Amino acid sequence: CKHAVAVCFQYQQDIGIREKDYIEEWLNRVERLAPKKLSEQERLDSEFFLVYRIFETPYGDDINLYKSKLLKSGKVNRGAKIAIYNTPYNCRDYSDVRDKAFLPKLSSMADIRGNYKFFAQNGYHVLHECLKTGRCFFKDSVTPLTKASEKIPYEIKWKKAKEKMFRLSFQSKIKDCFIVPTQPITLIDKKNNLLYDLDSNIEYDLLQQILKAPEIPSNQVNNVYQTLLKNFNQLELEIPATYKLKQIKPKPIPSLDIFYNSDEIAKDAYYLELNFLYDEHKIKPFPRQEKYSIYTENSKIEVVRDLQVEQAAIDTLNAFGFKAKTTNLDLSESNLTLSIAGETNQQEALKKWQEFLEVHVESLKSQGWQLDFHEDFNLEFNLDSYVEVESESNNDWFSLSFNVRFGDKSYPLAPLVSSILEEFDDVEQLPEKLFVECEQAQYVELKTKEIQPVLKTLFELFDRKQADESLKISSFDAHMLADMDDLVQWKGNKEILKLSKKLKDFAGIQHVKPPKALKLELRDYQQQGLNWLQFLHEFKFSGILADDMGLGKTAQTLAHLSKLKELGKLNKPVLIVVPTSLIANWRNEVKKFTPNLKLITLYGIERKDKFVKVNDYDLILTTYNLVGNDVEVHQKRKHSYVVLDEAQKIKNPKTKMARVICTLKSDYRLALTGTPIENHLGELWSIFNFLMPGFLHNQKLFNEYYRKPIENEFDSQMQKQLNKRIKPFVLRRTKEDVLTELPTKTEIIKLTQFENKQSKLYETIRIAMQKKVRDAVAKKGVNRSHIHILDALLKLRQVCCDPSLLKLKEAKNIKESAKLELFLDLIDELMEEGRKVLVFSQFTSMLAILEREIKKKNISYVKLTGASTKRDKIIDKFTQGKADVFLISLKAGGVGLNLVEADTVIHYDPWWNPAVENQATDRTHRIGQDKKVFVYKLIIENSIEQKIIELQQKKKALQDGIYDNGNKLEDKKFDGKDLMDLLQS
């Protein structure tokens, strides 16, 4: 419409006006930066303005300020002098913006007489600030100084003074000039009032001293000239008439000095220094000038350099791998010092040095180069060498000394290569040639491919933090020596070599026929387990059978021991240590599956009467609690095996139980556990410390070398290395892998929210405990405040379960219980569907509440806690169908029960460790289960329980990492900070 057109037209006009205004404003800003003419000075409310006058005084060259004004003639009067240190205040009424910008700085630098002395770069800056005002004059001139665009060249000439005497004189194209001592030096053309920069980087102090030189006798002119040029090549100094000039152009010869220099920056460094010989004159490569002057007493020799030939020589050395040295040696800047050190890794540097000495030296000599090896250069390479191994045995350990031998000399290999191996993540990354330093600067060349098995052994087994000459290994490490026999000369005990040869010829784990006395048809994976256990026995190994809960670790172990008896290899009793809750299970399975194995149970007060009979039995069954009490009896004999069921019981190596069990004597050891890791890798170390002491080093070294990099730094390379090391000695299968017929297990997280009163109670407890914990942490630190933190977490978990669990006044009157209501609704649904339910809780007091509520609903149930007696009858009542609900405390019934009659599991409260929950779940999800299993986890939303679920995921990732190369470890660290974070919910 026409209105729209009018608006657009007006908008275009406005744009044009705004653009015009903007351009004018910008031009005004630019003009204000231009030097002002005197007639254009902004005087504010005054007719006066500042004038800057430069004078030459007895005290030096300085600048004075004057309060001046324009005369009617248009010239500037001299005006009244003003002390510089008062200018910011005294001149406020007659100074413009340019004056005010730098007068404070000028004032602060005034001397005691109120004058400013020019000096160096600061003086140069002040001088040019004065020029910008347009009011800077030389002395009493009426014409202001201006800056010339070009620079002025100069020369110091020899002027005849009196007979046979000369003096030095400053000469430039300006006849009448005044030198201002700035940096760069400034000249004032007095006649034309122009300011020039001197075309030179000479400093004023030097120029001043040159011009103050005394008169010089003619017979000393050449000497003075030569001395000045030698020390100050920046001087433009006239050649004396008495001095001879000669120019030569010989062919350059590269000259190499080869030397050793050790300084603080580059230790044990070897260098090349390159110069060029022009006849008898040695010239350094830098600076790169076409002519090089050499001064003698009465002459100057000018050498015309061939820079192309010089560059070709530099390029040749660069091609050999030598680069210009960057660290500072006590050498002139013009030297070209080259080195390999620092450019590549040490092995690569040594390789290039070896090639230089063995190949390139002779080539350079044949091309006419001059090479000078200094006395301190003693670098040598020996190519004729081999590796030998000396072996000594002590019980189950072998001490291997790997030595490098050449000629009649022998050197331990381990400390020589330890620092080399630290540079590489894997032996495969090592260069083709390996140089080891046997003595200072004396290197032996080893061909990596030929001794790779030796290096792999050292890489896997050698403790890089020590420099021992021998390597202590056990028979468990024998497999790592399998490829070494043909590559080294072996001396001393050869028992471990025989074992390694046996491993070398090992074609795989052989199928073993089940023992005839076994009353069990082994599943395929159980047969594989028997094969593996027999393999360990054959090669004198111990190991961990880490199958998932419910896959029959007990049955596989009994089949193995029964087979050993059948073969006549079970010549001493086997000590089996189990949790108290599993005593009955072991008895039943021995009786059921391996009746050929004679079993004695050391349990209860009457066990002491049985001690004298144990040698008449194949199996000795006892508990973790009792083995410590009876340790003196057990230590008197050496067992065929010590078997630990639920071996995670010794996950803490500092406990008395773990220490005692490690002292038991046996030929072999076996750990049974579906969870070798529950919380951290230190638990895995503890189990291996029982199985194979020293196999994973001592605890401190294990923590530094494996645990810290894997858990804290998510180092997948170290995870792979640990997995590779333990792989032969750990067998794990999951139910998902081997029990394809096992019904599915479905996990369901059921969320609910607090009601009003319970929510307020939770928040009150959280805030109060958070303050208490923060105070404790502030006083003791996180790691020493765990008791306070865990107490706080316990109270929060109790609120989530049921407020009545808290023994606090605030909780007594709160009848709301969100989770209990959720549980009761769920139980009603499950009972209508005819389900058989296992209910787990860590709190026996919570089980009592559930028991009370279930009774009200007339639901048949049984309950098992640590205080329960007649445990077997309780279990039978459920398995025989006389109860629909089984209330179980996690600690009392989380392991050792076979409850496949159930098809539903309820975890009333989440536990920190997912492995413990899984063990509980697997009471029903195991062999023999023919129904789908549903697992319910009851969680209070936006509470600590949700944080526990997140923590479970972190721990599961750590556990899984042992079996899948650590791919799930990233960002799964858990530490004291995580404990504090739990208090935020």
In a domain, 509, yes or no: no
Residue 967: pLDDT over 50: no
Among 81-95, 287-301, 732-746, the range scoring the smallest mean pLDDT is 81-95
Task: Say whether both 473 and 545 belong to one domain.
Answer: no
Q: How far apart are CA 53 and CA 51, in angstroms?
A: 7
Contact assessment for residue 511 and residue 531, using Cβ atoms and an 8 Å cutoff: yes
In a domain, 511, yes or no: no
pLDDT at 3: 46
pLDDT at 533: 96
Q: What is the mean pLDDT of residues 944-955?
A: 80
In this prediction the pTM is 0.50
Task: Say whether both 156 and 295 belong to one domain.
Answer: no
Tokens standing for residue 442: 């004396």
* 3-class SS letters over 797-829: HHHHHCHHHCCCHHHHCCCCCHHHHHHHHHHHH
Residues 6+ apart with CB under 8 A from 554: 585, 586, 589, 645, 672
Q: How far apart are CA 102 and CA 129, in angstroms?
A: 8
pLDDT at 202: 85
In a domain, 376, yes or no: no
pLDDT at 837: 97
Residues 6+ apart with CB under 8 A from 305: 252, 276, 278, 283, 289, 290, 291, 292
Checking DSSP bridges between strand 116-117 and strand 60-68, what pairing results, if any? antiparallel
Task: Say whether both 280 and 302 belong to one domain.
Answer: yes
Q: Which of 250, 237, 230 is nearest to 295 (CA)?
A: 230
- What pLDDT digit, counting tens, does each position of 436-490 carry? 888 888 888 887 776 666 666 666 655 444 445 555 556 666 655 655 555 566 6
Q: How far apart are CA 938 and CA 982, in angstroms?
A: 18
Averaged confidence pLDDT in the chain: 81
CATH of the domain at 704: 3.40.50.10810
Which one has a higher pLDDT value, 220 or 264? Answer: 220
In a domain, 756, yes or no: yes
Which one has a higher pLDDT value, 928 or 826? Answer: 826
Q: How far apart are CA 445 and CA 424, in angstroms?
A: 18
What one-letter code names the amino acid at 513?
K
pLDDT at 407: 67
Task: Say whether both 233 and 335 belong to one domain.
Answer: no
Residue 14 vs residues 4, 329, 890: alpha-carbon distances, Å = 15, 70, 82
Residue 982: pLDDT over 50: no
Q: How far apart are CA 475 and CA 363, in angstroms?
A: 53
Q: How confident is the model at residue 964 (pLDDT cuts 50, 70, 90)?
A: low
pLDDT at 117: 76
pLDDT at 8: 46
Residue 678: pLDDT over 60: yes
Residue 518: pLDDT over 90: yes
Task: Say whether both 212 and 311 belong to one domain.
Answer: no
CATH of the domain at 951: 3.40.50.300
pLDDT at 616: 93
Given 109, 144, 179, the domain boundary residue is 144
DSSP state letters, 674-738: S-S-SS-HHHHHHHHHHHSTTTT--HHHHIIIIIIIIIIT--HHHHHHHHHHHGGGEE---HHHH
Q: What is the mean pLDDT of residues 604-616?
A: 88
Total domains in the fold of the chain? 7
In a domain, 267, yes or no: yes
What one-letter code names the amino acid at 966?
G
Domain that holds residue 637: 524-738
Q: How confident is the model at residue 5 (pLDDT cuts 50, 70, 90)?
A: very low
Residue 110: pLDDT over 70: yes
Which one has a higher pLDDT value, 156 or 956? Answer: 156
What one-letter code names the amino acid at 609?
D
Residue 441 vs residues 322, 362, 435, 770: alpha-carbon distances, Å = 19, 21, 11, 62
Q: What is the mean pLDDT of residues 617-646?
A: 94
Given 124, 144, 164, the domain boundary residue is 144
Task: Say whether both 77 and 161 belong to one domain.
Answer: no
Q: How confident is the model at residue 746 (pLDDT cuts 50, 70, 90)?
A: very high
Tokens standing for residue 619: 């199996």
Checking DSSP bridges between strand 837-841 and strand 861-864, what pairing results, if any? unpaired
Task: Say whether both 265 and 212 belong to one domain.
Answer: no
Residue 956: pLDDT over 90: no
Q: How far apart are CA 396 and CA 667, in angstroms?
A: 10
- What pLDDT digit, counting tens, does each position of 37-50 carry? 554 444 445 688 88
Checking DSSP bridges between strand 489-492 and strand 386-394, what pairing results, if any? parallel
Given 738, 773, 790, the domain boundary residue is 738
- The phi and psi torsions of 64 (rounded to 5 degrees) equal -120, 150
Q: What is the mean pLDDT of residues 53-75?
A: 80
In a domain, 411, yes or no: yes
Task: Say whether both 588 and 608 belong to one domain.
Answer: yes
- What pLDDT digit, counting tens, does each position of 808-839 carry? 777 777 888 999 999 999 999 999 999 999 99
Contact assessment for residue 399 and residue 471, using Cβ atoms and an 8 Å cutoff: yes
Residue 860: pLDDT over 70: yes
Q: How far apart are CA 954 and CA 331, in angstroms?
A: 58
Among 61-65, 413-417, 720-724, the range scoring the smallest mean pLDDT is 413-417
Q: How far apart are CA 668 and CA 670, in angstroms?
A: 7
Residues 6+ apart with CB under 8 A from 196: 148, 150, 151, 152, 174, 186, 187, 188, 189
Checking DSSP bridges between strand 281-283 and strand 146-152, what pairing results, if any? unpaired
Q: How far apart are CA 260 and CA 269, in angstroms?
A: 6
Q: What is the mean pLDDT of residues 574-582?
A: 93
Task: Say whether both 391 and 454 belong to one domain.
Answer: yes
Q: How far apart are CA 694 and CA 676, in angstroms?
A: 18
Tokens standing for residue 540: 């004198």
Q: What is the mean pLDDT of residues 254-283?
A: 83
CA 753 to chain centre: 43
In a domain, 889, yes or no: yes
Q: How far apart are CA 284 and CA 332, in angstroms?
A: 9
756-780 helix and 786-801 helix, angle to the nearest 10 degrees = 170
Task: Say whether both 783 and 903 belong to one domain.
Answer: yes
Q: How confident is the model at residue 249 (pLDDT cuts 50, 70, 90)?
A: very high
Strand segments (E) across 785-928 = 837-841, 861-864, 885-889, 904-907
- What pLDDT digit, counting tens, does each position of 125-163 carry? 888 888 988 899 999 888 999 999 999 998 888 888 887
Residue 362: pLDDT over 90: yes
In a domain, 517, yes or no: no
Task: Say whether both 208 and 77 belong to one domain.
Answer: no
Task: Say whether both 3 and 44 belong to one domain.
Answer: no
Q: What is the mean pLDDT of residues 882-887?
A: 96
